[in-house]
Amino acid sequence: MNGAWELPSELIMIQDTVRRFMRQEVKPLEDQLQHDAYELPEGVLLPLQEKARGLGLWCFRTPEEFGGAGLSLLGQAVVAEETAKCRMGAYVPGCGAFGADPPNAVFLGSTFQVEKYAIPAIKRGKKIFVAISEASGGSDPARSIQTRAELAGDHYILNGSKMWITGADGADWGLVFARTGQSGDRGGISCFIVDGDSVGMTMKPIKVIRSYAPYEVYFKDVKVPVENRLGEEGQGFMLCEKWLVEGRIPYAAGTIGIAQAALDIAIDWAKQRKAFNSFLADKQAIQWMIADSEIELRAARLLVYQAAWNGDLGKNLKVESSIAKLVATETAGRVVDRCMQILGGLGVATELPLERWYRELRIKRIGEGPSEVQRMVVARHLLGASGKS
C-alpha cells in the first residue's frame, strides 16, 4: 500500500470501474424486477455479462490463465463490496453480471477435471454448488459428515444427504464431501465432482426468511467415476481448506457493501425528512446512529482489508479471516437495523431494499461458519490446546 490504509492505484481504478458499472448498467435492470427477485432474465443477463467481460470484469477470484480476472484477495474484497450494492447483492453479487467463480479447489485437480468442469463453468458464468453441511451438524463437518462414498471398481457409490446447499438447483455440477474412511476427523473425508444431472440425486427447497431457497440434496446410489474424485482419498478438506478460509474475505466485504449502501440511503433521508419542525439530521439521536454506523463500518472494513492484505503476503489467514467475517457480518446487521429505524415505516416497506437486506444479513451471520464458530477459532488460537473442547 502507498500509505497507511491506502489502496493501490490499480485497485482504486478497478473499484471505480465496478462502481460505475453497477450504477449505470446493473441497477437500471434490477429496478425493473420484483422486490424479492434473485436473478435477471437470461435475455437481459447475457448481454450484461458480455459488457462486463469486455471490461475485464469476469470471475474475479479465478486465475487469469483459466479465464478469470485473477484478482488478489484485497482486490476481491474491494470488488465484493461494490458488487453487493444491489438488492440481490447478498446472494448474487452484481445480479450475476460478473459471472460466478467455481470453487478454486477444482484448479488443484487433474487436467481432465479442469477442462471438463472448471473451464466450461467459467465461460458460462454459472454458479456451482458446494455440499458440505448435513443435518447432523453443519458447523462441525469433520465429525458430522455421514454421507458415504464406497469404491466399487472404476466408480464410487454415493449415499446420504446434504443440507442448506445454496445454488444446487440448476447447477451444472458441484463439489460433494463424503466419508471414505472410518476416521471421525477430516482425514476420512474425500471430495467428489458430481454432475448436476446424476441419476439418483434429488433435491428439495428449504423455505427460509430470504427470497431464494437453499436445498436439501439426497444421494441414492449415485455413481461417481473415480476420475471425478478431487485429489486422493482423505484429502478432501486439505484441498479445500485454503479456498474455504479465503472465501470468508469477499463474503465479509459483501456485507459491508450492503450496510454502506443502507447507510447512504439513511443519510439522504435524514437530510430531507422533517419531524417536529426540524430535519432528522439535526436530531442528536439520529446523528449518533449515523455516526456509530460509520465508525463501525470503517473498523470492519479495515479488518477485512488487513486480513486480505496478509493473505496476499502468504500469511496464515485462518484467525484473521474468522475475525473479519465475524465483525463484518455482525456490524452490517446492526447498521441496516439502525437505518431501518431512521426511515421508520419506509424502512420496512418493500419500496426500498432495506427490509430485504435485513433478512439477507441475518443469514450471513450463519453462512460460511456461524459467529460462534468464528469466536471458537479465535479462542483456540489464543488459548492453545487448553482451549480445545
pLDDT digits (tens, 9 = 90+) for 339-349: 999 999 999 99
Q: Measure the CA–CA gap between 286 and 269, rounded to whole angstroms.
A: 11
Q: What angle do CA 339, 345, 346 make, to 5 degrees?
A: 65
CA 383 to chain centroid:
29
Q: Measure the CA–CA gap between 320 and 326, rounded to whole angstroms.
A: 10
Average pLDDT for 270-295: 93
Average pLDDT for 328-334: 98
CATH architecture, domain 9-124: Orthogonal Bundle (1.10)
Q: Which residues of 183-202 are buried (b: 16+ CB within 10 A; e: fewer)?
A: eeebbbbbbbbbbbebeebe
Q: Just give the CATH number of 129-230.
A: 2.40.110.10
Grid cell, residue 324, equals 473479519
Average pLDDT for 382-388: 69
Q: Just give the CATH number of 238-387.
A: 1.20.140.10
Q: Measure the CA–CA gap between 360 and 332, rounded to whole angstroms.
A: 11
Q: What is the mean pLDDT of the chain?
A: 92
- Contact in structure between 173 and 102 (CB atoms under 8 Å): no
Task: Give the residues across from 173 on adjacent strands.
Answer: 195
What local confidence, expressed as pLDDT, does residue 19 receive?
97
Domain spans of the chain?
Answer: 9-124, 129-230, 238-387
Helix (H) / strand (E) containing 346: none
> Are 9-124 and 129-230 equal in CATH topology?
no
Active-site residue among 30, 82, 246, 368? 368
Catalytic site residue 25?
Answer: no
Model pLDDT for residues 205-229, shown as the tens digit of each residue: 999 998 889 999 999 999 999 999 9
Helix (H) / strand (E) containing 360: helix 354-364
CA 144 to chain centroid:
23
Answering whether pTM is above 0.85, one says: yes
Share of the chain above pLDDT 70, in %: 95
